[in-house]
Structure formats: C-alpha cells, structure tokens
Amino acid sequence: MINVGRMKSIRYISTRGQQTPLSFKDAVMTGLARDGGLLIPERIPDVTGHLAEWAHLDYAELAFEIVSRFVDDLPAERLRELIDDAYATFAHSAVTPVRAVGPVHILELFHGPTLAFKDIALQWLGRLFEEILEERDGRLNILAATSGDTGSAAIAGVRGQERVQIFVMHPRGRVSALQERQMTSVLDANVHNLAVEGSFDDCQQLMKTLFNDLAFKDAHSLGSVNSVNWARVLSQIVYYFYAAFRVMDSTGAARVQFTVPTGNFGDILAGWYAKQMGLPIERLILATNENDILARFFCTGVYAKGQVVSTINPSMDIQVASNFERWLYYKVGQEPEAIAELMARFAEQGHIELPCEQQGQVDRDIVAGTSDTQRTLATIKRYYEQFDYLLDPHTAAGVFVAEQHNELDEPMICLATAHPAKFPEAIEEATGKDLARHPLFEALAQAPTRCDVIANNLDELRAYLAARTA
C-alpha cells in the first residue's frame, strides 16, 4: 500500500534505504543518493480536495500549488518567483498547450528555449541550483548524460552561471545532427560537451559510477540534472494536471488517459505520481521504439537488458531506464532491502522478473506497446496528410501506440516531447517534403562548435573532470 498524505515537514529518502533523510534543497544538490539509490519523498500528498479549485489556474500558478506540496525549505514567495521566471522563457502563453488532433489530444511540451519537453524541468532546475549555491556560497560541477534533448536543455538552464560548470556526455554519432549542434554551439566558458565512443547507456553508466565514487563526487562537487534528480520528476508532474484539467473541461469527461513515449521512464513516472496524488487518470500507456525493455517488462514482468539499436527517435534508444527503480520501490511494498537486492541482481545478470497482476500486465495502472521505425514514419505521414499536424518521431511513436489502446471512452492525451524541426531527416523521409524547419535551427547552421571526444572509459572521464574542476 502506498503511503499517501498531505506533507508538512518534508524529507527525501533513498529507494535503497541507506541514505540519511534529506531536505528538498539537499535532495536537489545530491542528485543520486549516496547509497546508489534514487531519492523520493517519504510520503505522497493527496490533493484530491484541491482539484476543483486548481482546474482553471494558469500554468505557473498550478506549478506553484503542486511543487509547494513537496518543498518546505524555500519561502513560498521565492518559490513562486523562481517558477514564474522559469516559465516566462516559453514561447507559448499556455506553456504546455493541448490540441485536439484527430482521435487524440496532443500535449505540446516543446515550446521552451530548446524545443523539447526537458526545458520544463531544466529551466526551473537551473534557477534552483543558482538560488541554492548563492545562499550557500557554493560551487557545482554538473555531470549529465544525454540521448538527445536533455543536454541542450540542461545547458540552456545553466549557461553563463558563475557558480556552475556543466559537463554533458552524448553518444558520439547517435544523436541527431541538430541535437548535437544545439549542444556544441554553446561556447560559454562553463559549458563542456563530451562525445563518448559508445551508447547512451554507456554514458549513463559512466555517470552513475562516478556518482557512486563518493570521495570523487565530494572532492569535485558533482551534481546531476538527469532525471535521477527528484526535482526533474517533480516539475513534470505539473503538466499532467494542466492537460487533464483542460481536456476534461473541453470534453466533459471525468477521467483521462495519457500515452507517453519514453526511454528512461522519468516522464511516465511523473504521470504515475500524478495519479497517486489523486488526478483522475484511468491509465498510463507506455510507448517505446525498438529499444523495448520497458514495453516487454510491463507486458511480461521480465526486465532484461538487450543491445541498444539506433533509431529515428534517439531519445528513446535506451536499454537501462534509470527511473525504473523509483516505480519498482513502490511495487515491492516500499522495501529498500528488496530494491537493493533486485538492482544488484540486475547489475550482475542484466535480468530480473516480477509476477504479473493479470494476464499480460504487471501493473493495472500502466499498459505498454511498441512502435518500430516504419510504423512511426507511417504515423507521421498519416497525421500530416489527414490532420495537417506534424509529429516528431518520438511523439509519433507514442501516437501509434495510443491508437492501439484507444478502446476506452476516456479521452486520450499524447505527450508531444519535441518539436519536429529537431528531426528534419525523419520528417522528410516520412512525408517526402522539407517541412521540419524552425528559426532557431536556421541560426545554428553556421554557428561554431566546441566538443571533446573521449573513450568509453571511466579513468579517462575521471581525468577529464579532475583537470577542469580542481
């Protein structure tokens, strides 16, 4: 049974149980728990009684109401200012508008500075870092791994900050050309881009290994902006409430469904938390591409690592989902010893198994499906021709899976995680037309870039960081 209740004094605990409980600010600065687990709130607030009064708030107002339930060590007015400042950077007045398109509703999460849903968390998190470091007269060296969009969004959140350096690893040749240029064209002195000879999972493993080297982490003031940082997941809870309120208001429905294209499980985990808080979500539908470890797990109970396949939706090219451990903690009855044992077994064997609650389903709240490259391209083409709406490849994978699970009466909301202009080759392959354009990318075409190539080697990464963070 999940422990749900309105929080007053708020502490953050590790899924593996060996981390001293932390305040919100300390949880933000810690990132990955010191015992190797992930930080989570010790209780989940029940906000059912507030749904009616929140239904018509604007995005920043709603963000304050939700986030403040998890923060007790930042004055309310200052928290409100940081939230207002973060979302003032978005190009659309609604921040995350919802559009009815054919049989689904599209939740557009790409109106931030880098045109990806990661901006929603990282514009706020960058300001949080700056606030806490100023208060504590501290310095922070952010180490991040990206499969595409996190890197540019994280860089945009902290570029130019005096107290922060950021080191972003991406798998060399496995992000789109535009995604790479978005990162490497930022020449601020506090920004370092590293192209790693390997996959995103390799980048993520390097990052986690260094964070587990506590002596190195402390000596070099390492922090995280990846979704292992609780603040990332917290900020993403907001747009589930915002979208559900608007769709229920426009359709008269009492409940909604969400489909989420995901690789690292953070985005759909935010929806799962929203449901536990009382948002009337009938179910969450998880969509993967050919890298389908999560879809296989939620259909069979078997979580088994495979080889990463490069696809047209590179942000989903992941075989080890870092946020999966947070969900698993609740699934095993909030028993940290069980989590520690399961994660140790997975690290050693690349395989764990849980029983299904019912045939073909591990969790009654989450169903899953897969869209391969041809189905994704066909979905982009069909939605452009039938509905005059251009989907990026990640969103199109989610829409295809949503259509396979749209048998219920509740409206289906599909998360649109990136602007289609970030993937011009895939859009042209799907439609036969050069449609994927945006002024931001036109300006980047001739911009100078800076990036260092490193081997998939822990010692080389350690030396690179040590030389620049002394």
Long-range Cβ contacts of 277-280 (<8 Å, 24+ apart): 277/4, 277/44, 277/45, 277/46, 277/47, 277/48, 277/237, 278/46, 278/47, 278/48, 278/51, 279/47, 279/51, 279/240, 279/241, 279/244, 280/51, 280/244, 280/248, 280/254, 280/255, 280/256
Question: To 10 degrees, the CA torsion angle through 310, 314, 316, 319?
Answer: 40
Question: Angle, to 10 degrees, between the axis of helix 59-67 and the axis of helix 76-87?
Answer: 140
Q: Is 309 helix (H, G, I), strand (E, B) or coil?
A: coil
Question: To 10 degrees, the CA torsion angle through 43, 347, 297, 362?
Answer: -40
**Residue whose C-alpha is closest to residue 141's, from 133, 150, 149:** 133
Q: Establish whether 8 is a catalytic residue.
A: no
CA dist list (Å): 265 to 62, 228, 337, 362, 427: 23, 10, 22, 15, 25
Q: Which tokens in the block code for residue 356?
A: 């299904």
Catalytic residue among 118, 208, 217, 381: 118
What single letter denotes the amino acid at residue 29? M
Q: Which tokens in the block code for residue 223?
A: 């922090």
d(CA 153, CA 130): 16
DSSP letters spanning 12-25: EEETTS-SPPB-HH
**Location of structure tokens 């107002």:** 61
Q: Which residues are catalytic?
A: 118
